[in-house]
Structure 1
């Protein structure tokens, strides 16, 4: 089988990794390595994996699942990125203070360099869940995580952050053209509808593409979406695991912002709460 043609620049090619993650960390690393192989075969520039891609338990993720940035999961991301040239954004779990862990997203460029870490600011204390019992929140005033891939700047949020428009706006103010939202969006009444609606809203109000990648499996909705800056859904998955690939056109992103200069017209700025 021949390899797909590379993206026509200025497009950036993204593989959406809607994987089903278990509490078996070795098996999850194998799953990630396989996703990298698919992304490389498709000549992708960026692989996006969901929240908690290193390990997941639908009843709650805590310190038992944590490992440092130098541990096996992030080391695998860096090694596979360097070997394939595919950048990656993926959720993991880091050690926190005391008995707590940190819900984090790491960004690794195509050379294997760890560009940065986003520590989840908004903990999911809603709909009967209490992440704050197991996790510590990241600092609200930390610099936003933005990574340049093939001429497009990707800014990072995760999961529950999608419900807070100021989080997205702050990342856009840091230069993001596209918002990447790894998630393990909990299933439940209206939850899949909320997920899709919020992803579209964040795209429209920020004239930014949104790459929202959900975990598949028991207790989570899957349903990853890629939304254009005009709010048009260009890619949408169902509940099942899958790897899908899409091209984002940087010139088209810029054209939407030129026609709809709402970012330039706004009269308020986002200031982190103390």
Structure 2
């Protein structure tokens, strides 16, 4: 008799992110230490984990992929064997022209410390009185989805406002994702926490995929990180406190739910990225 696939252990880092880059590197080290103590396979940090200003993030917060923050993540992942997904701000493209803008991105680092992928946020937060596009340039909508294999699960990554666009998550699932990961700095406001929770569960149910939503906490953002199974059952839910928590995701459960509810096979529409 053979054993089934092993659960994948995920540590959620619901943290406050500062403008001070050294402070944020210390936060990342603390989170990795906690993930190591929990014997996690994957650590997820929020959007903008390398630096955040509630008034807006832009070129002043950017550093390259070979800069101190991503280098720290890669070295730590390589030494601990813990994969990492984290939000960072990268320099923008010179070809984009003035005014200078940055890129809101996620890095996926595998357990060997290799940079497995970089997702550049497609849907900029030009809503609810904010305009990310004043300071940031969007990622190309037709870029290949970014996924990270950890154990027997494939994690697909998207960022914050992307959560409001179900076709984005469906495209990542079409690329093989069993788990959808949403690092976020979900801005607080009327009904915003309700939207966050409702949409995370909807993305889980409609895609028969587990969901990991990791919200930055602190002034102006909601926190409220959440982990749910592929049937929308909540496994972990946080308030607004700064904390680290760990949950196990079971590959067998994803397979079981997809057998019982083959909605991905039954659908009649495909996702086609917009051009321009």
Q: Which residue of structure 2 lines up, in the alignment, with residue 157 of structure 1?
A: 158
Deviation at 1:191? 0.2
Deviations 1:40-65 (A, max 9, x none): 11110000000000000001000000
In the aligned structure 2, how far is the partner of 1:150 from the partner of 1:38? 20
In the aligned structure 1, how far is the partner of 2:269 from the partner of 2:263? 12
Q: Normalising to structure 2: TM-score of the pair?
A: 0.96
Q: Which residue of structure 1 lines up, in the alignment, with residue 242 of structure 2?
A: 241
Q: Which residue of structure 1 lines up, in the alignment, with residue 103 of structure 2?
A: 102
Deviation at 1:240? 1.0
In the aligned structure 2, how far is the partner of 1:135 from the partner of 1:189? 25
List gaps (5 residues or longer) in structure 1.
Answer: 1-7
Q: Which residue of structure 2 lines up, in the alignment, with residue 80 of structure 1?
A: 76
In the aligned structure 2, how far is the partner of 1:110 from the partner of 1:33? 15
User: CA RMSD for the aligned pairs?
Assistant: 0.8
Residue 235 of structure 2 aligns to a residue whose secondary structure is strand
Q: Which residue of structure 2 lines up, in the alignment, with residue 222 of structure 1?
A: 223
Pairs within 5 Å for 1:177-216: 177-216=178-217
Deviations 1:22-75 (A, max 9, x none): 101001000100110110111100000000000000010000000000000000
Pairs within 5 Å for 1:8-87: 9-87=5-83
In the aligned structure 2, how far is the partner of 1:184 from the partner of 1:238? 14
In the aligned structure 2, how far is the partner of 1:249 from the partner of 1:232? 13
Pairs within 5 Å for 1:134-149: 134-149=135-150
In the aligned structure 1, how far is the partner of 2:39 from the partner of 2:78? 14
In the aligned structure 2, how far is the partner of 1:38 from the partner of 1:59? 30
Q: Residue 120 in 1 paired to residue 121 in 2?
A: yes
In the aligned structure 1, how far is the partner of 2:206 from the partner of 2:108? 24
Note if contact 2:145-2:156 (Cα within 8 Å) is conserved in structure 1: yes
Q: Residue 260 in 1 paired to residue 254 in 2?
A: no
Deviation at 1:9? 4.8
Deviation at 1:81? 0.4
In the aligned structure 1, how far is the partner of 2:61 from the partner of 2:68? 12
Note if contact 2:5-2:152 (Cα within 8 Å) is conserved in structure 1: no
Note if contact 2:5-2:252 (Cα within 8 Å) is conserved in structure 1: no
Q: Which residue of structure 2 lines up, in the alignment, with residue 3 of structure 1?
A: none
In the aligned structure 1, how far is the partner of 2:235 from the partner of 2:34? 20
Note if contact 2:42-2:82 (Cα within 8 Å) is conserved in structure 1: yes
In the aligned structure 2, how far is the partner of 1:175 from the partner of 1:260? 17
Q: Which residue of structure 1 lines up, in the alignment, with residue 176 of structure 2?
A: 175
**Once superposed, which parts of structure 1, at least 4 consecutive aligned residues long, lie more than 3 Å away?**
none
